[in-house]
Amino acid sequence: MQSESEASVRLRFAPSPTGYPHLGNIRTALFNWLFARRHGGKFILRIEDTDVARKVEGAVETILDSLRWLGLNWDEGPYFQSQRLSFYREIVHGLIEEGHAYLCYCSPERLETMRREQAKRKQPPKYDRRCRNLTQHERTQLGATGIAPVIRFKTPLEGETTFYDLIHGTVTFKHDTLDDFVLLKSDGYPTYHLANVVDDHSMTISHVLRADEWLSSTPRHVLLYQALNWQPPQFAHLPMILGPDRAKLSKRHGATTITEYQKQGYLPDAMINFLALLGWSLDDRTELLSREELIKHFSLKRVGKTAAIFNKDKLEWMNGVYLRKLSLGEFVQQAMPFLDRDLPGSVKRPLDSRYVSQILPLVQERAKTLAEVPQLTSFFFLDELQYDTGLLLSGKRDAQSAVNVMAIASQKLGEVTTWDATTLEGILRPLTIELNLATGEFFGLLRVAVTGRTAAPPLFQTMAVLGKEKCLKRLDMAMQSLSTHPN
């Protein structure tokens, strides 16, 4: 048995464009990439596009863009299986000649009837091998009918297949639990079982890291390697990803495509860190690891056998940590496309990057995703606010007294010549004593007046960024909104 640090390390990520990449796909890509980088090997990208009927338009481009966004650079490819059809057919015809495969003429209708009968008898659905031992005369007759056959592998009827998995250890499957699986479909396209074995061999793949769901297919692949007299790669089947309720990950758990996480404002490095911990760990306490640290420490010995649990709250927390690590320039650069996309249409474009650079330090500690930044900061960009008078009157103050307080504050602020956070605090904090108001009540009123909301960045810094003219205008508009309010 080879060790996981075999000298010539070559791994592949082989997605099918039958859908857009989701967390499970990308976690598989990441583990292959980390393993290759850890051992100085090659990471190969192969597109398994032989399922023509289920191919999704634009899926290939989305797969490539997702890998690029996450920085999972590949060394070779992308290779496309659809460009290698003649090669697969040549391999299959060799298997037929050597007695390892045969033509099957059973119609889809017959196969469906067979499965229904097996289900009634509570038997596992499995091809009954009707065409396995046809005579040459019978094959000739069936071929003359124009039926396009599939080609099936001739699985041994007795015995068992054993292989070693780098995560699960020694695994054995009895042959009587396997069927004669299809190698080549009637349209001439290979199945996954054939194409991935042929390509892994021709691309000299040393390690196959893939999802746990493929563990039960591995004996078929091992048998195929044996029939072709090829050395199989080393296998490692990665644990499933489940939701917090331990059910299969789905959209209700937040299992959207990886591009949705990009649109929601998650950082690539945060996603890499989070995905790496879905099934692997450095120890029982370390949660924040840079890309370089992940490469340095990644080992299949630390990959678990049990399912990993997806936790959206943890992802948000982790992304917030990575956002706070950004310099102001980096934060502005990352947030600007989200501001441009999501701020109200009334906000003038292009945005003033100098003004944005004054605003963003006030929310960098609070934002969990970049997509939250427009919501957290929108009041900075608006010319007019829509006031909820109930917020202005919180604390059970009446409208007239609230107007009086704001009028006094406005008059004091109108006299200010140096408009910065320190000066504003020096004027407004003593005013609470003059007005005989609790600090929270007075500052809460001013906060709603200048931002339109009760939760906002620190008041004096917010007012300093908004500027004198805008703050005084908003105080005046807040007072106007209360002027018609019944006491």
List, by residue number, the catalytic residues.
251
CA distance 389 to 350: 32
Structure tokens at 122: 């509570």
Assess whether the previous peptide bond of 361 is cis (omega < 30° from 0). Answer: no
Listed residue (441, 413, 408) closest to 426, CA to CA: 413
DSSP 8-state secondary structure symbol assigned to residue 257: B
Could you identify the residue written with the tokens 């909301």?
453
Phi/psi for 6 (5° steps) reads -50, 140
Whether 43 and 84 have beta carbons less than 8 Å apart is answered as no
Give the H or E element holding residue 45.
strand 42-47
CA quadruple 138, 141, 144, 146: dihedral sign: negative
Structure tokens at 117: 């009968």
Q: What angle do CA 246, 252, 253 make, to 5 degrees?
A: 50
Listed residue (466, 463, 399, 404) closest to 436, CA to CA: 404
Please write down the long-range contacts of 131-135, taking CB distance under 8 Å and 24 or more positions apart. Answer: 131/102, 131/103, 131/104, 131/105, 131/106, 132/102, 132/180, 134/102
DSSP per-residue codes, 202-249 = HTT--EEEEEGGGGGGHHHHHHHHHHHT----EEEEEPPEE-TTSSBP
Q: How far is CA 343 from CA 267, 284, 333, 406, in A?
A: 20, 41, 16, 28
CA distance 232 to 208: 10
Could you identify the residue written with the tokens 């980390």?
34
Listed residue (256, 315, 254, 307) closest to 280, CA to CA: 307
Phi/psi for 168 (5° steps) reads -90, -10
